[in-house]
Structure 1
Amino acid sequence: MAGTDTHSHASHDHASATTNRTRLGWAIAIVATVLLVEVVGAVATRSLALFADAGHMASDLIGLVVALVATVIAARPATERHSFGFQRAEVFAALFNGLLLIGVAVFVAVEAIPRLVTPHDFEISPVPLLVVAVIGLVANFGALMLLRGGASTSLNMRGAYLEVFGDLVGSVTVIVASIVILTTGFAPADAIASLVIAAMIIPRAVALLRDVIRVLLQQTPVETDVAQIRSHILAKDGVVDVHDVHVWAVTTGKNVFSAHVVVNQSVFERGESGRLLDQLSSCLSAHFDVEHSTFQLEPAEHAEHEEHLHP
């Protein structure tokens, strides 16, 4: 019976992963098509707001592609040459994505200044602008509905869902600007809308780059409390001390842990080291979301002459 339950669970996970890949594939197709339409529309209408939204969408397209690749990579086993698999490829893609976002925001901000100072030098075609923006809104809404089904069960899918939601907000901003220009003739509305989109881009880009730097520098994940982990380890029967504690992430959400754990000699004498290792691994997995943990169990006399590289 246990074997059947395990097989059913594995089959469900495989089916869910396949469904998520299909959803992401359709979402990528929709966003890529709208991106092309918005680029052509930005050139035709001379709208900076539409260009800003296209840049935002280009970044989100990269995010969706990364999410799709992540679902494939997650199923690939590690090799001797790549002991952690290829998960860090996602970090480098995020680095490129963050830099692209910063570049788009800076370009938009620089271009917006003359459009605010001398708006009559930049004639905007509001009707085509409105048409393209509405197309973007409808397409983004469709992609959002596609991804909603997996957003509650997968962090990866939730990230993709939020990417598309950001595009939808950008489309709404452009629609508002086009309606203002169409009804009032207030040309600076386009530049103002572009600055609003740029303002939405910057915080996300900074947060993304901050996460990338944190992973590449192998810093302790923000949500991880090392002192609390240490307390949990010391609370186990037979544990005397813990040192050389290291926590880092291979990629976002994939935390790795290692430590030297000093234990009573009686633990070795009674053959309970295996049980203790199971307890420690289960504790970190259940309470601290650590995917991979390594412990070196050592007697007190060994720890006394060992050079500690970390507290």
Structure 2
Amino acid sequence: MSTEHSHVAAGTGNERALLIALALTSCFLIAEVIGGFITGSLALISDAAHMFTDSAALAIALVAIKVGKRLANKKRTFGYYRFEILAAAVNAILLFAVAIYIIFEAYQRFKNPPEIQSMGMLAIAIAGLCINLISMRILSGGKDNSINMKGAYLEVWSDMLGSIGVIVGALVIGWTGWSWVDSVIAVAIGLWVLPRTWKLLSDSLNILLEGVPEGTDLTAIEQATLALPGVKSIHDLHVWAISSGKVSLTMHVISEENANVLLKAIQLMLIEKFEIHHTTIQLEQQACTQASEVHSFG
């Protein structure tokens, strides 16, 4: 028995924002790569590398939304909602790879610091910062409702910090001539991004492994269900997320009460207390044979 629930793909309203941000980022990426090699700045190349991952992340996020809109069928009964989680995981892996490369390259440059053209580095970094701020503003509306959009927003946010770091580095190099500052800024950008990238990757893996969604208290759900009149015990309680904001729950409930009345009470409680709308609840008068094979409550 199931509650009524929405089958609309998460994040479908974010396509236009992603498309605009992708166009802005991709256009500036070319200029920043060229500028990084001309000025000899690793920090600028680091920022350009993040711009590349920004573009890849935005493109993947856009594809994820389009694929996620495809209807469920007999082969994909949940549709393609989970594609956005795969996209978020890929984005996190890209960020890890870029951060490791930048740290390695910075180590090489510490041993032999190159000459840095600080004014060119400064001009390009300022332009990059403007692009980042515009993209962040465009993407901010959907970041709290979709892990896919959150990943794309995080990419642009981290690159914004990178642009600020490059600007500071360019000013310091221009005033002091300390070219090693460029490598320090590049490493700082990589280290700043890594913890946030790990959080994005762990959230994605938790969903892919059908773990309990963050912020969902399984014990509280158990206690709230057992507190309802007529509920003797429960077992086979599972809570997972198909995609961002699409939490599902299944459980078996032992009761001899009126099935329809109790079912409605459980469904209403799950919606009001835990905002879980997609539920499948099996009512039984005695525990089924599966109960001895899995974790049971009560």
Which TM-score applies when normalising by structure 2? Answer: 0.85
> How many matched pairs?
288
Moved >6 Å (runs of 4+): none
Residues 219-260 of structure 1: per-residue CA shift (max 9 Å, x gap): 222321111001111122221110011112223432221111
- Percent identity, aligned pairs only? 36
Tell me, yes or no, if the aligned pair for 2:68 and 2:83 is still in contact at 8 Å: no
Higher relative contact order (CA 8 A, sep 6+): 2
Tell me: CA distance 1:60–1:278, structure 2 relative to 1, closer, same or farther (3 Å): farther
Q: CA RMSD in A?
A: 2.8
Q: Secondary structure at the match of 1:290?
A: coil
Which structure dedicates a bigger proportion of its chain to helix?
1
Residues 137-158 of structure 1: per-residue CA shift (max 9 Å, x gap): 111122233334x258845656
2:106 aligns with 112
2:285 aligns with 299
Tell me: CA distance 1:226–1:168, structure 2 relative to 1, closer, same or farther (3 Å): same
Query: In 1, distance between residues paired with 2:67 and 2:278?
Result: 17
Tell me, yes or no, if the aligned pair for 1:244 and 1:308 is still in contact at 8 Å: no
1:253 aligns with 245
C-alpha deviation, 1:275, in angstroms:
3.5
Residues 55-74 of structure 1: per-residue CA shift (max 9 Å, x gap): 22333334333443454455
Q: Does 1:137 align with 2:129?
A: yes
The amino acid of 1:190's aligned partner reads D
Residues 119-176 of structure 1: per-residue CA shift (max 9 Å, x gap): 2xx222222211211110111122233334x258845656644443322221111111
Match of 1:168 among 135, 160, 167: 160
The amino acid of 1:32's aligned partner reads S
1:284 aligns with 270
Query: In 2, distance between residues paired with 1:85 and 1:127?
Result: 52
2:3 aligns with none
Query: In 2, distance between residues paired with 1:166 and 1:108?
Result: 14
Tell me, yes or no, if the aligned pair for 2:158 and 2:193 is still in contact at 8 Å: no
C-alpha deviation, 1:91, in angstroms:
2.1
Tell me, yes or no, if the aligned pair for 1:28 and 1:65 is still in contact at 8 Å: yes
Which TM-score applies when normalising by structure 1? Answer: 0.82
Tell me, yes or no, if the aligned pair for 2:118 and 2:173 is still in contact at 8 Å: yes
Tell me: CA distance 1:72–1:304, structure 2 relative to 1, closer, same or farther (3 Å): closer
Tell me, yes or no, if the aligned pair for 2:39 and 2:117 is still in contact at 8 Å: yes
In the alignment, structure 1 segments of 5+ residues that lack a partner are 1-9, 268-272
Tell me, yes or no, if the aligned pair for 1:262 and 1:303 is still in contact at 8 Å: no
